[in-house]
Structure 1
């Protein structure tokens, strides 16, 4: 069984400023539809699942931005990986109200 990992993704599509949120929202819609566990933050979205699945989502996010008219996409990706797995809840669960 593959370990559960966390991948955070921040996409920065090069589009007119008035379209920025519109394009980012398309990426978030895709993440929601993917079925992985995720948390949306003000600067990035953190996902939980197996690494291959999450990296495929990262790849598709770039393609979505281009399809939506972005000339270029700069993305920041962070990966938290442990052989035995790591969950978002173990990191932030104690802070939930």
Structure 2
């Protein structure tokens, strides 16, 4: 299967002072995947096979709960096309 882009925003239900530490643990999970990713101010975009990315989404929920969230709301966006899609093709021109 071709590479897709998946953007993930997790909104863990924790006290305000715990939001960033919990999100940091999710970012560590994404980093450990070895996949290409980019952290943004509102979400993290990851590039890879769809099944692998969806598994990361599932694990992200578990990380939030393990870190003390009583509930997790997640917003997911997927950019898919049969021949594949990359982050570079979308944003490289803005980084030159």
Partner of 2:47: 48
Partner of 1:27: 26
Partners of 1:5 and 1:34 lie apart in 2 by 15
Q: Which runs of 5+ in 2 are unaligned?
A: none
Q: How many residues align?
A: 96
Structure 1 stretches of 4+ with a deviation exceeding 3 A read none
TM-score by length of 1: 0.98
TM-score by length of 2: 0.99
Q: Which runs of 5+ in 1 are unaligned?
A: none
Q: CA RMSD in A?
A: 0.5
